[in-house]
Amino acid sequence: MIRYFDPAERIREKQRARDRDDHDLASGRVSAGELQRQNSFAAGLDLVNAEIHVPNPSAW
């Protein structure tokens, strides 16, 4: 099945996530710091086991 990007649906998804974050913060389910960690760019990355490989350092 091919799915297409729907900008309007993406806006709705982001708003639902913001509403959920607001509710979780207001209810004390998460702290502001925890919410920030969850929503950070690198939240889904396993940085502990990450490696950086440079294929050709002399090209820099």
pLDDT class of 60 with cuts at 50, 70, 90: low
Q: What is the pLDDT of residues 12-52, one digit of tens each?
A: 999 999 999 999 999 999 999 999 988 887 777 777 787 88
pLDDT for the residue 10:
93
pLDDT for the residue 56:
80
Buried b (16+ CB within 10 A) or exposed e, 18-41: eeebeeeeeeeeeeeeeeeeeeee
